[in-house]
Structure 1
Amino acid sequence: MSFSPDIGIDLGTASVLVYVKGKGIVLQEPSVVAMDTSTGKLLEVGEQAQRMLGRTPGHIVAVRPLKDGVISDYDMTEKMLKNFIQRVTGGVGLFRFFKPQIIVCVPSGVTEVEKRAVIDATMEAGARDVFLIEEPIAAAIGAGIDIAQPSGSMIVDIGGGTTDVAVISLGGIVESTSIKMAGDKFDEAIMKYMKKKHNLLIGERTAEEIKMNIGSAYHRDKDIYMEVRGRNQLSGLPEIVKVSSKESLEALEDSVVQIADAVHSVLERTPPELSADISDKGILMTGGGSLLWGLDKLIEARTGIKVYIAEEAISCVVKGTGESLKSLKHLGRSTNSRRR
């Protein structure tokens, strides 16, 4: 008998959420790792490492080991996962003897090679057994949708690296698409806009603050403003610029239109019977990116279908992944699972 807990992991580009069977969500940390390049020593993982982004001396590097929803730095991802798994399983000693079963969430559009990288990294991080589940399925389960019913449900999951759009019926994905346009690309668009429009250089964290405070995907009835600090690229000196929500809409317009186009594209390919179900029930949005102001209104205007944002949009995927721990035996031993 094993005393190790079953674990569900939402391995996101922006953050990692960990669900332990019987306990719920026990960890939510940024997907950032800091290490000393001169010694190869791991310094910080998660929140502490994120604080170092853009502020490190030459011999220390703080990196995001995942990009666009997939692993871009295998070694760093393995170290990050090992750190998080040890935190939730009671430390190194217990972890050495009782290895957990882990189910990891991946975007619906990942290749077999990318899936293999996730499985291998999780195994090397200390798992006894690894399973994969696609994000739209996990998001739907986490939002309380009974995916086993012969009825169409549309999920739009917008994370940090990817947006997954899927129509689900009878427990499987009928039509889907996954695009590399999500929260991180929103930040990049804001950084480019500030540089082009205001000659102001800002970092990722400042861009994220703009997105969260005044970011807009649809016209607001009343503009709101925010003071933004950065460095003037002409003078090289610190500067404060007042930015409006109207400007953020201008900065994000191309990005959010790509997401609306992806939703429209999946709807066009959806069988008529399922389209009717979606028209009745509406479209469900999950993930941190779905909280961008007005994105639901934009998709609703584009499709003519009511759009809802899940109550706990950020944690839907990891909750669904955690719920799936109850039925690991039904996931089967396919190319999406591996055992020691």
Structure 2
Amino acid sequence: MLCVDFGTSFSKAFATIDNGDDRPELIDLPIGEGSGSARLVTPSELIIDAGQIFFGGRARQRLDETQQAADRLIDSIKQYVTLNQDVSVLGTARLDQIQDPTQALSQRDILVLYLGYLMYVAERALVTAGQTINAQRRFAHPAWPENTRQRNEDEMRRMMAEAVVLARSVKDGFEGGLSVIDARELLDKLKSLAADSLPLNLIREPVREATAAGAGALLSTAEGHREKYLIVDIGAGTTDVAGFHCVNNPNWDRSRVWEISGAAKARNMAGNVLDNAFQKFVLGKSSLTEGSEEYRQAGLAVRRSRRLLKEQLFREGSVIVLLPTDETVPVDLDEFLEYGPVVSFTNAIVAMVAEAADLVQGNDVSSIRLVATGGGATLPVITKIAEHGVDVGGRHIGFELSDAIAEGVRETNPDLVEAYSQIAVALGGALPNLPEQRANVRGAINAPPPRVIQTTYR
């Protein structure tokens, strides 16, 4: 089973082999370049330049080599399929001319092209690992509203199947630049194919990102226990939360997990909000006059490196930003956390968690296990929620911060521990048994025990 996590900044892939127990064999797929966690991710980017299309790391490399404006890079592909979006209409949505000078490609075309690249690097990694390219596969998606969920899932399954065909048709063409003319011809042929001509048999049921992110941690519930979990997945572009009840009955062959589907929430707000806030904060502290050419050039310079600078700020507690004017702007973490847009972001995350936790808690008073994943797993807002809990509906709900890493991974795959928060969605989505989705706890009791009349005492 292969699962692809199509992320806002980076995409990931992971595979497992079902051994018939709670410990499937894990197969990490190095779809990126470099060492460490970088080998497990590939940038969710492409660029159209001089009639050619460049993907992943080569897209960023092309942008830097040609010294073009950052707006030329198509680096928000996932936003086409995120919250409140009807994926079926993307075939009529054109890109901005600065991103597609040819005006030959729609947003759907860009999605299929990038997914084709993602399928290519994932299948190449499968072959390197000695596995078949014809693995069953799932895709992770944000928590779409119920009125568009089924339509979006059907359209994404079609695009995933087209991407498989594209990956095996273009092959090494993804390594260099793919001609826009060739891409247009291939895409037109794909759209003309009937559904039964596509490898839809390879595309399994999709999985919500937060569900997949927490799937590994959920299965670590101790024998004889019932635990409540809340998953908070803060990525680069979206924040997803999901709630679960996990039961490990020693009389069952496996632990069972039920998702409280009403607790699933998602917002188009995550690391990108902090990136924008960081840029505005730095420029606001500088001596530059807003609207001047120096201000504009400084903004472009900070935008290129704001994500790395922001990560350094949260990691080390301070950072010094060098502007093109040779001015240095020191940024302290405490003052950044007090910045208005950052305070609003923190409050919005707390409100999301509180709303979901209220549904997960029910009438119980015990604490909820909080599992944080994604690039924002270590943000101060997570620590704040874990330490202080949340107040909702006139009651206080406490949390116990739990490890997101799936049981056994530390022992069997220690090299995955450092990168786990980034690959949690892909790894969890590749697990053989995903959580069942139920509207509420009572709805999850589908095999109640028999009722027997007995004496009340002996």
Give the CA deviation at 1:119.
2.3
SS at match of 1:152: strand
How much has 1:319 moved relative to structure 2? 0.8
1:54-107: per-residue Cα shift (whole Å, max 9, x none)? 76537x93212112862783222211221222223249x9xxx96543200111
Structure-2 separation of matches of 1:86 and 1:20: 15
In the alignment, does 2:79 pair up with 1:67? yes
- Structure 1, unmatched stretches of 5+, are 1-5, 217-222, 232-236, 332-340
Indicate whether 1:25 and 2:28 are aligned: yes
User: 2: CA distance between counterparts of 1:144 and 1:47?
Assistant: 34
- Give the Å deviation of 1:238: 4.7
Tell me the TM-score normalized by structure 2: 0.58
- 1 CA distance for matches of 2:371 and 2:309? 25
Task: Could you tell me which runs of 5 or more consecutive residues in structure 2 were left unpaired when the two chains were aligned.
Answer: 18-25, 32-40, 91-106, 165-198, 246-256, 289-297, 391-397, 406-419, 438-458
Q: Secondary structure at the match of 2:161?
A: helix
1:289 maps to 2:292: no
CA displacement 1:177-226 (0-9 Å, x = unmatched): 1112211121111112222332452444422123211138xxxxxx9431
- Matched ranges for 1:70-219 at <5 A: 70=82, 73-90=107-124, 99-109=134-144, 111-112=148-149, 113-126=151-164, 128=200, 129-130=202-203, 131-145=205-219, 151-169=227-245, 170-174=257-261, 175-198=263-286, 199=288, 200-201=298-299, 202-215=301-314
Alpha-carbon distance in structure 1 between the residues aligned to 2:351 and 2:80: 18
Q: CA deviation at 1:146?
A: 5.5
Q: How big is each residue's C-alpha offset from its partner over 1:165-186, in whole Å with a ceiling of 9 and x where there is no partner? A: 1211243234221112211121
Query: What is the 5 A alignment of 1:164-313?
Result: 164-169=240-245, 170-174=257-261, 175-198=263-286, 199=288, 200-201=298-299, 202-215=301-314, 224-231=317-324, 237-251=325-339, 252-273=342-363, 275-277=364-366, 279=367, 281-292=368-379, 294-300=380-386, 301-303=388-390, 304-308=398-402, 310-311=404-405, 312-313=420-421
Q: Is the 8 A contact 1:15 1:29 kept in 2?
A: yes
Equivalent residue number for residue 424 of structure 2: 316
Matched-pair contact (CA < 8 Å) for 2:282–2:329: no
Q: Secondary structure at the match of 1:109?
A: coil
Q: Which amino acid aligns with 2:421?
A: A
In 1, distance between residues paired with 2:239 and 2:80? 9
Distance 1:132 1:189 in 2: 33
Take 1:132 and 1:25, find their aligned partners in 2: how far apart are those partners? 20
Relative to structure 1, the CA distance from residue 241 to residue 288 in structure 2 (aligned partners, 3 Å threshold; closer, same or farther) is same
Distance 1:205 1:173 in 2: 40
Pick the structure with more helix per residue: 2
User: Is 1:157–1:287's contact at 8 Å kept on the other side of the alignment?
Assistant: yes
Q: Which residue of 1 aligns with 2:447?
A: none
Deviation at 1:247?
2.9
What are the superposed Cα offsets for residues 219-239 of structure 1, whole Å, 9 maximum, x if unpaired?
A: xxxx943111234xxxxx353
Instruction: Please tell me whether the aligned partners of residues 12 and 69 of structure 1 are also in contact (alpha carbons under 8 angstroms).
Output: no
In the superposition, the TM-score normalised over structure 1's length comes to 0.76
Distance 1:189 1:308 in 2: 29
SS at match of 2:335: helix
1:10, distance to aligned residue in structure 2 (A): 0.9
Which residue identity is paired with 2:266?
A: S
Query: Contact (CA 8 Å) 2:60, 2:73: kept in 1 or not?
Result: yes
- The alignment partner of 2:42 has SS state of strand
CA contact under 8 A between 2:321 and 2:328: conserved in structure 1?
Answer: yes
Q: Percent identity?
A: 21
Offset at 1:156? Answer: 0.9
- Taking the aligned partners of 2:242 and 2:212, their CA distance within structure 1 comes to 11
Q: Alpha carbons of 1:98 and 1:62: their partners in 2 closer, same or farther (altered >3 Å)?
A: same
For 2:304 and 2:230, the matched residues in 1 are separated by 32
Give, in angstroms, the shift of residue 263 of structure 1: 0.6
One-letter amino acid matched to 2:232: V
Structure 1 residues 282 and 171: CA distance shift in structure 2, 3 A: closer
| Distance of 2:375 and 2:219 partners within structure 1 | 19
Aligned 8 A contact 2:217 2:403 in 1: no
- Which stretches of structure 1, 4 residues or more, deviate above 4 A after TM superposition? 51-56, 97-100
Aligned equivalents of 1:264, 1:256: Cα separation in 2: 12
Residue 142 of structure 2 aligns with an amino acid whose one-letter code is: P
